[in-house]
Amino acid sequence: MTTPPPKPFAFYGRVSTEDNQDPESSRSWQLTRATTLIQPHGGRIVTEYFDIGQSRSLPWQRRTQANLLLAALRDPRRGFSAVVVGEPHRAFYGNQFGLTVPLFAHYGVELWVPEIGGPIDPDNEAHELVMSVFGGMSKGERNRIKLRVRTAMAAQTLLEGRYLGGAHPTATPSATSDPTPTPPSADGKRLKGLIPDERTAPIVRQIFTEFLAGIGLFAIAEGLTANHVPCPSAHDRARNRHRSGIAWSKSAVRVILTNPRYTGRQVWNKQRTDEVLLDVDDVAMGHTGVMRWNARDKWVVSKEITHEPLIDDATFEQAQAILQRRGRGAGGQHIRQRTRNPYVFRGLIYCAACDRRMQGQYNHGDAYYRCRFPQEYALANQVPHPRNVYLREDALTDPLDTWLASAFAPHRIEQTITAMADAQPLNHPPATGTAAQTIITECDAKLERYRAALDAGADPAVVTGWIAQTQAERARAEADLRTIAGTTPRRMSRAEITALVTALGDITTVLRDADPADKAEVYRQLGLRLNYQPETQTCALKWISARTVG
């Protein structure tokens, strides 16, 4: 009597920063729980999918390794017939189980969980109830962690004056804000504080002095620019690559005037992260974080002075009173009631005079794009710019659609695809990216050989193990590439651009029949950039880089 081959399993686990655990130790204990569950049933883990640094609130489709696992379910040669989860709290959040388990059932892959004691039966109401409870517990645990962390940070700021990050242009983080260094903690860390930046601290004092003397925000910005004082984004380019840094703006002066840190006190909770739906038409895609300003009464300011002040409390309060009289809300942020109007060219039109993105604005029911550089930025930098630059959306839509129709006509489409490919910025992948790509290529070659061996009659149990191991190695290399891609722009191949254009179909028909939101997505995918020249009232089109569909 022959012993049946062990049942091949895939393992899934997850750890994130909010868990505050070492990834390797967390993987180890989750893997141990999973192995303990399946070994008595003749199971063996042949491949692993382990997400690191991704929140449990993300649905499986948006987690790197979980998404790879879902993709593997569709492959009949996946190399495993069941999936085991070491800890359901970490795998499923909220209603994620109900949205995920039907895929396992559809592809005939069992899902094993220690709390069930074996495979989940999709038709068993008790199993579904147990997993739903764990999803709710996972959501509650995350909310409790967030509450504890925020409460602790508020107390550390208010009572201890702890520096919790968020350096500003006139201060530099230091190992300690106290002349006597604080003793290191058990893991060797020291408390951090702020010390004045000798180059920029005098500028802050000058801004407060001039403002209290009656000089307006724009005049202060004009004087600083005329005296060749670097604006905050020019002073700290590392954190402000998205800004031009060519001149001081009224908003930069206002932010300095409303920052309590210049009084020597720590401040926290000026901004918050709200979770909003990623796609209102597909709730299953989950939420994404959006940074928003808090009203000033929500800020947490330390009771005691914790670092060297640049101004006194009386000066700061006097500046706030003046700003309040001028109509700015508490906290220095002008709160606008925003409406969701569709802008077809959102983020795609640039003013050629200052190279800044033009902002959308509705006027009498029509969409416009405007640039008001002279009203926000100092003119002492000698940037020639009209007072107002306006471009009506419908004046551009028809000519652009006509040009795109001709560019993607059958006799010109190859030339257009070549232009799109050549317009992409050159990038040189780091050595780690090259190594990962080499691993993927080698794994693909191995998989072809293993599948050929299966077709030739090799032992399925042995070859299946090889395939699973190689697929896991390939998945890790792909994860490395995606991590690198998050910081390094990747050039799309000509084949990828061709596939994108093909997926869009008949460009002329798509653009003619599309609503504004869909039309904006087509322009975004094509990688357009439009430079508007106000003097000639013309737009120059440029391919930046195509985006992958979806």
Percent of the chain residues topping a pLDDT of 70: 74
Ordered DSSP codes for 237-277:
GGG-TTS--SS-BHHHHHHHHT-GGGGT--EE-SEEEEEEE
The residues of the chain that CATH labels 3.40.50.1390 are 7-144
> How far apart are alpha carbons 528 and 113 in whole angstroms?
48
- 332 within 8 A of 294, measured Cβ to Cβ: no
CA-based nearest residue to 531, from 352, 395, 394, 403: 352
> How far apart are alpha carbons 489 and 429 in whole angstroms?
9
Residues 465-515: pLDDT tens digits? 677 677 777 777 776 666 555 444 455 566 766 766 666 566 666 666 666
Band the pLDDT of 438: cuts 50, 70, 90. confident
What phi and psi values does residue 192 have, to the nearest 5 degrees?
Answer: -110, 150
Instruction: Please count the helices (runs of H) and the strands (runs of E) in the chain.
Output: 18, 17
Output the six-digit token pair for 286: 């989950």
Characterize the bridge pairing of strands 82-85 and 110-113: parallel
Mean pLDDT within 62-89: 90
Mean pLDDT within 328-345: 55
The residues of the chain that CATH labels 3.90.1750.20 are 171-180+190-325
Looking at residue 119, its pLDDT comes to: 93
Using the predicted structure, report yes or no on whether residue 332 has a pLDDT greater than 50.
Answer: no
Distances (CA, A) of 17 to 72, 85, 163, 279, 321: 26, 20, 20, 25, 41
Name the residue type at position 54. Q
Looking at residue 496, its pLDDT comes to: 65
Lowest mean pLDDT among 6-15, 303-312, 486-495: 486-495
Higher pLDDT, 263 or 439: 263
Mean pLDDT within 292-314: 87
Using the predicted structure, report yes or no on whether residue 547 has a pLDDT greater than 50.
Answer: no
Residues 346-387: pLDDT tens digits? 878 888 877 778 888 888 778 888 887 777 776 655 667 777
Per the prediction, the chain carries an average pLDDT of: 77
Distances (CA, A) of 199 to 232, 254, 320: 12, 20, 25
The H or E element that residue 402 is part of is helix 394-407
Burial classification of residue 414, based on how many CB atoms lie within 10 Å of its CB (0-12 exposed, 13-18 middle, 19 or more buried)? exposed
> How far apart are alpha carbons 79 and 69 in whole angstroms?
12
Higher pLDDT, 239 or 369: 369
CA-based nearest residue to 30, from 58, 49, 54: 49
Looking at residue 171, its pLDDT comes to: 45
Band the pLDDT of 83: cuts 50, 70, 90. very high
> How far apart are alpha carbons 201 and 179 in whole angstroms?
19
Looking at residue 315, its pLDDT comes to: 93
Q: Which fold has domain 7-144?
A: Rossmann fold (3.40.50)
Band the pLDDT of 134: cuts 50, 70, 90. confident
> How far apart are alpha carbons 512 and 519 in whole angstroms?
9
Looking at residue 270, its pLDDT comes to: 83
Lowest mean pLDDT among 19-33, 110-124, 477-491: 477-491
Distances (CA, A) of 519 to 95, 391, 392: 33, 18, 16
Mean pLDDT within 530-536: 84
**Domain 171-180+190-325 CATH superfamily:** Putative Large Serine Recombinase; Chain B, Domain 2 (3.90.1750.20)
Looking at residue 234, its pLDDT comes to: 81
Lowest mean pLDDT among 229-238, 273-282, 355-364, 480-489: 480-489
For the chain, the residue count is: 550
Taking only Cα atoms into account, the Rg of the chain, rounded to an integer number of angstroms, comes to 29
Residues 470-484: pLDDT tens digits? 777 777 777 666 655
